[in-house]
Amino acid sequence: MSTPILEARSVSQLFPIRSRQRLFARTVMQRAVDGISVSIHPGEVVALVGESGSGKSTLGRMLLGLLPPSEGSIHFRGEPVAGLSGDAARRFRREVQVVFQDTGASLNPRHTIGQSVALPLQHNLRLPAGEVGRRVDTLLDQVGLAPARFRERLPHELSGGQRQRVGIARALASEPSVIIADEPVSALDVSVRAQVLELLDRLRRQRQLAYLFITHDLGVVRALADRVLVMQGGQLVESGEVDALLTSPQHAYTQRLLAATPVPDPARQAQRLAQALAGRPA
């Protein structure tokens, strides 16, 4: 099998938590992530699910290099991230990008959309000025925003779904090989959500992009992922191919998760739709 683009080897993250019992305050260490190993291969979509507080985002931040693991190590193309410097460190920062729930909201309010997308092209790819404008337009086009209409606008002049598309264009500008997508569509309404998911899926096919998709939405998992990892209390409690795991979950927690959020069965949905259409007046 190919070398993973990104890998966590037995990583843990301990956070100090202050607790107060009567007069005494003391600090205890909480294991937010506890000995997890994950690998992401080129073009693969790995979904990370689990209840709130189970450690998903903390694992994502460690994989992004934003938070050094308390134990274990993160590897980029086989090399430990902690030891990267110079060009190798720049390559890691360029190839591993993030899209989060409100990526669009993190755009600089005083920068036009064109300027925001241009920044990584100038800094990460160091493209010549003449090339940057052309590349910005291509990227806006790819995420479904007509460059002539959107290039000169400010973020507050866009809808939430449009801003999220700009956030995705900005992540793509660095020509990543993997995107950590932390609840990228959960702030969007249902129809915009479907469009953004379709966009992420298309980009994956066009660019051989890999994703780690952090989500509570098992419908999203079924639609996009190849493999699922289930976290509970900082630990990995189950993992496997999507179809197998969603059809016959083994761990009690995964069974509860599925029972709490029924995943629409595409065949049954198509059947219902066909029935509804058949019943329509001609």
Ligand X SMILES: Nc1ncnc2c1ncn2[C@@H]1O[C@H](COP(=O)(O)OP(=O)(O)OP(=O)(O)O)[C@@H](O)[C@H]1O
Please give the residue ranges that form the binding site for ligand X (CB under 6 A): 15, 32, 50, 52-58
Closest contact distance (angstroms) between CB of 64 and ligand X is: 13
Which CB, 56 or 151, lies closer to ligand X? 56
Closest contact distance (angstroms) between CB of 277 and ligand X is: 38
Q: Give the count of beta carbons closer than 10 Å to the beta carbon of residue 148.
A: 8
Which CB, 53 or 264, lies closer to ligand X? 53
Which CB, 53 or 83, lies closer to ligand X? 53
Alpha helices in the chain (DSSP H): 56-63, 86-95, 113-123, 129-142, 147-150, 160-173, 190-207, 218-224, 242-247, 252-260, 266-278
Closest contact distance (angstroms) between CB of 254 and ligand X is: 15
- Let me know how many helices (H) and strands (E) the chain has, helices first: 11, 10
Closest contact distance (angstroms) between CB of 260 and ligand X is: 14
Residue 95 identity (one-letter amino acid): E
Q: What is the DSSP string of 80-104?
A: EGGG--HHHHHHHHHHEEEEETTTG
Query: How long is the chain?
Result: 282
Closest contact distance (angstroms) between CB of 26 and ligand X is: 15
Question: How is the beta sheet containing 79-80 ordered, strand by strand?
Answer: 24-40, 6-21, 71-76, 79-80
Q: Which residues pair with 73 in a beta bridge?
A: 9
Closest contact distance (angstroms) between CB of 39 and ligand X is: 19
Angle between helices 113-123 and 129-142 (to 10 degrees): 120
Q: Give the count of beta carbons closer than 10 Å to the beta carbon of residue 191.
A: 8
Which CB, 49 or 178, lies closer to ligand X? 49
Which CB, 62 or 158, lies closer to ligand X? 62
Which CB, 12 or 58, lies closer to ligand X? 58
